[in-house]
Each structure stands twice: as C-alpha cells, then as structure tokens.
Structure 1
Amino acid sequence: MVLEGGLEATVSSTDAVRFEFAVTNAGTEPVELRFSDACKAEFVVEDEGREVWRYTDGRLFAQMIGSERIAPDETATYGAEWDGPLTGEYTAVAELRAQDSACKARADLSVP
C-alpha cells in the first residue's frame, strides 16, 4: 500500500483559510481505509512548531465505523476551514485518520 498526500491551503478574502488534503493511492492494488468516526482527516496549523489551530478542537463527530475504498491512481479529498486566522506565516499539517493507513502532508501559508 502506497498512499501519497498533498495539501493546499487557500487564504480567502472572507477571513478564512480553506484546506484541501488529497490522498492518492500510488500503488497497484485498491486500498480500503477504515475510520472509527466521521472525521477522516486532521488539520493542524503551527507557528514555528507551536500549535495555533486544530480542526478537531471543540468539534464532535458521529461515532460510526466506516470505510472508503481508493482504487490505484485514484484520489480521495478531505477538507477543512480555519475561520478568523491571525496575520502571520504558518505551516499546515494534514494527516489521515484511518485506522491502518498513514498519510501526511504539509504546506506553508501566509495570512496577510
């Protein structure tokens, strides 16, 4: 199983940052991702290694076991939005929350 991740962070004019985490199956066999709740990816924003925002903080997710199949060369996309970010230079990290599969991606972003 070979999962590759990419993360895009888009700063909007409405005082929010939109994250898009793309997880691609770079292998030759389908991958079955198993999740223990409705949150499929975690997003964290850091300022020089100090955490300033975490997508799951203060949120509740349905406690349901689910799965998602990604065929070879197929991509699954997960998103999140950070409302009201402060001006600064940050690093965003996205991580897949599947039970038996790991995938992570990073992106730098600047909030004017």
Structure 2
Amino acid sequence: MLTGDLSVETDDVVRFVFAVRNDGDGPADLTFRDSCHADFAVYNGEGERWRWSDGRMFMQVIEHRTVEPGGEETFEGEWESPESGEFLARAELCAQDESCEAETRFSV
C-alpha cells in the first residue's frame, strides 16, 4: 500500500516534494511509461491554475522501480512564476499499475 506526503516550500519559486512510501508488507513495483514519474497541479477556487507537466515533453521509455516495505521514493517539481494567493497543491504518482496522491494547502 502506497501513501503520499506533499510538502511545499515557497520562495521566489514554489518547490514541491512528493514522498511516496510503501506501507505494505511486500515490495511495490512501479512501472513508468515515460520519464514523467509524478505530476503536480495547483488549484484555487476557480479551478486549476497551473500544472507541472503542461508544455513539457517526456522521453518515451519504460522504467521500473521497486519500493521495498518501509521504503520511500521522492519526486520534485517547481512552479517558477507563481501567482499570489491561497492554493491547493496536488501531487499524483504516474506509475502504470499503482496509484498514490497527496495534497496540501499553501499561500504565495
């Protein structure tokens, strides 16, 4: 069973760190269809304001990672020109057969 935790650091940029932990008894095998392993989105009351993957191209490669019980993988993203306001950030694992999400509120 995968669980996620999302932390946000605000400065001149907004930095997202998505930690995915394996809280299960056996290994979690993650298969990624391309080089996008996690995606980050920012929402306000009007809907989605920004998405990390928008406008990006990803290498089309199959990659496998194993997260052992009690182990963790981290994924990072940056919002380089953030707007001011109150937001909800959401992170999502982009693995083929495993899912994990986390969200947190932050302000700029």
* TM-score normalised to structure 2 length: 0.98
Candidates 78, 84, 93, aligned match of 2:75? 78
1:56 paired with 2:86, answer no
Q: Is the alpha carbon distance of 1:88 and 1:97 closer, same or farther for their aligned partners in structure 2, counting shifts above 3 Å?
A: same
Q: Deviations over 1:29-86 (max 9, x none)?
A: 0111000000000100001251000000000010001111100000100000001101
**Structure 2 match to 1:104:** 101
Cα RMSD for the two superposed structures: 0.7
- Residue of structure 2 equivalent to 1:94: 91
Aligned to 1:6: 5
What is the total number of aligned residue pairs between the two structures?
108
In 2, Cα distance between equivalents of 1:48 and 1:8: 20
What SS class does the counterpart of residue 85 from structure 1 fall into?
A: coil
Task: Give the TM-score, by structure 1 length.
Answer: 0.94
Q: Which runs of 5+ in 1 are unaligned?
A: none
Q: Is there any run of 5+ residues in structure 2 with no aligned partner, and where?
A: none
* Partner SS for 2:55: coil
1:40 aligns with 2:37: yes
